[in-house]
Amino acid sequence: MNMISRRFARAAMGIALFTLALPVLAADNAQEALEWKDCVALAKKNHPLLQSSREKVNQAKANTGITRSAMLPQVNAGVNAARSKQENPSGYGDNSATDTYSYSLSGNQLLFDGGKSIYDVKSAKKNVMQSEYAYDATSSQIRMNLRAAFVQLLKAQEGLLIAKDIAERRKQNLELVRMRYMAGREHRGSLLTAEANLSSAESDVSQMLRTLSLAQRSLVKEMGLNEFRPLVVKGNLESSTIESVRPDFEKLAASNPSLKVAIVQREAAEYNLKSAEAAYFPGIYANANVGRADTKWPPANNQWSVGIGVTLPLVEGGKRIYQVSQAKAVYNQLLADERNTRSVVLMALEQKWVNWRYAVDNADVQRKYLSAAQERAKIAEAQYSIGVILFDNWIIIEDSLVSIKKSYLDAEAVALTSEAEWLQAKGETLDYDR
């Protein structure tokens, strides 16, 4: 086979490899290949951590209603039936039992408690905001994990094709070395090296099949699916362009959900402190009662009452003092946590942006190395086939091409994963991909 026909054969092999690999990738599953947006939609629908966070938001909203109810009228209805008897030891008088019946409707309304209930409601509302920001933080983390799993499966699929292509190339190299060996123009050491290279390439194909299965399981997990099934994803590993202008990290940090959680936690603690301090004020309530009572059923005698009650605990063993002290400590702790979270978020933003820039630049460099290695390999193969260069020189170039192909694939995957980490540092959620 001459050089031109061999190049055409390899080009045809490259086109056929994907077709041949699809049955392996799909594992006899007729399921349509998933795009990135399909994976996002499945994760939003099925991921258990996202569902858990959503229910925490519902819990916080319900707790706000419970807290607010203390400020609203409290109305109760009651029915009572009783029999009583008072016995006289002397034996004189009426010792018969007396029956009493009554029913009533009573209510009370909080008039003043030093603002404690108001602060409790405000704190509860901040807890709702906290749970919503925590939901966003969970969604952001899930997006990063999902994207990383998606990229790893793309890489495994592409890696399998590359491994098959390398194995085919090693096979053709072995045939060329064997022909030269049979013709007495190559020594046995070169033949054994070519055979070992082919064995290594075939082993890489088997390893990539196992890696592919592992990547499929990882993506299934990150989409929140209950059962494993082989998946094929569609897409490419080309990284997006990156702006060279340094972002405003302070502005980006302000929209990060993790920092928002820390801020509203501190604000809720501030309201809890004010609530604890308001507990020193008396509680003033208006109350009313209306009903009927009698010694027979249905009772016929009307009765009612209207009044105002005041409650003020006098001795509690210092309970309120300790509650205020505890609330102050919690507030100070969360204030320090907020400052630390801000620093962590700012550091993560700049670090992830730098990593992303480096990864994109490295992928571009590896792309150029790959182009050069492919050209060198074409020339070296032609030179070796006519005896211009020795086996040792040729095989070094072939090994370099194999290594650079793998390095370029790794660099592309790292660039995409670094982009996902940058978006997670910004706080982008699954809604980013709508």
pLDDT, tens digit (0-9, with 9 covering 90-100), for 1-30: 343 334 333 433 443 444 444 444 444 444
What's the pLDDT at 4? 35
Structure tokens belonging to residue 421 = 């980490």
H helices present in 231-318, as ranges? 249-254, 257-278
pLDDT at 26: 45
Mind listing the pLDDT tens digit for each residue in 32-61? 689 999 999 999 999 999 999 999 999 999
Average pLDDT, integer, range 372-381: 94
Mean pLDDT of 341-356: 96
Mean pLDDT of 144-160: 95
Q: Are 154 and 309 in contact (CB under 8 A)?
A: no
Residue 313 — very low, low, confident or very high, per pLDDT cuts 50/70/90?
Answer: confident
pLDDT for 245? 84
Q: With pLDDT > 90 as the criterion, what percentage of the chain qualifies?
A: 73
Contact 405, 367 (CB under 8 A): no
Nearest to 291 by CA among 83, 77, 108: 77
Q: Show the domains of the chain with their CATH numbers.
A: 3-79+99-433 (1.20.1600.10)
Cα–Cα dist 334/262, whole Å: 7
Residues 6+ apart with CB under 8 A from 378: 7
In the predicted model, what is the mean pLDDT of the chain?
Answer: 88
How many residues appear in the chain?
A: 434
Lowest mean pLDDT among 11-20, 152-161, 293-302, 381-390: 11-20
Digit-coded pLDDT (tens) for 109-149: 999 999 999 999 999 999 999 999 999 999 999 999 999 99
Q: What is the pLDDT of residues 70-104, one digit of tens each?
A: 999 999 999 999 888 776 666 555 567 788 989 99
User: Is the pLDDT score of 374 beyond 70?
Assistant: yes
Q: Left, alpha or beta for 235 (phi > 0: left; psi -120 to 50: alpha)?
A: left
- Look at the alpha carbons of 358, 361, 365, 371 in this order and tell me if their dihedral is positive or negative: positive
Mean pLDDT, range 374-401, rounded to an integer: 91
Highest average pLDDT, of 128-142, 280-294, 308-322, comes from 128-142
Give the pLDDT mean for 200-204: 94
Of 85-89, 95-99, 374-378, 422-426, the one with minimum mean pLDDT is 85-89
300: confidence class by pLDDT, cuts 50, 70, 90: confident
DSSP element (H, E) containing 305: strand 301-311
Q: Are 149 and 416 in contact (CB under 8 A)?
A: no
At residue 88, the pLDDT reads: 64
Place of tokens 């620093």: 343
Q: Is residue 169 scored above 60 in pLDDT?
A: yes
Q: In what order do the strands lie in the sheet with 301-311?
A: 74-84, 98-112, 283-294, 301-311
Q: In the chain, what percentage of residues exceed pLDDT 70?
A: 90
Task: Name the more confident of 204 and 8.
Answer: 204
What is residue 1's predicted lDDT score, i.e. its pLDDT?
37
Helix (H) or strand (E) holding 115: none
Average pLDDT for 160-166: 94
pLDDT value, residue 84: 81
Q: What is the pLDDT of residue 11?
A: 38
Mean pLDDT for the stretch of residues 228-239:
86
Give the pLDDT score at 87.
67
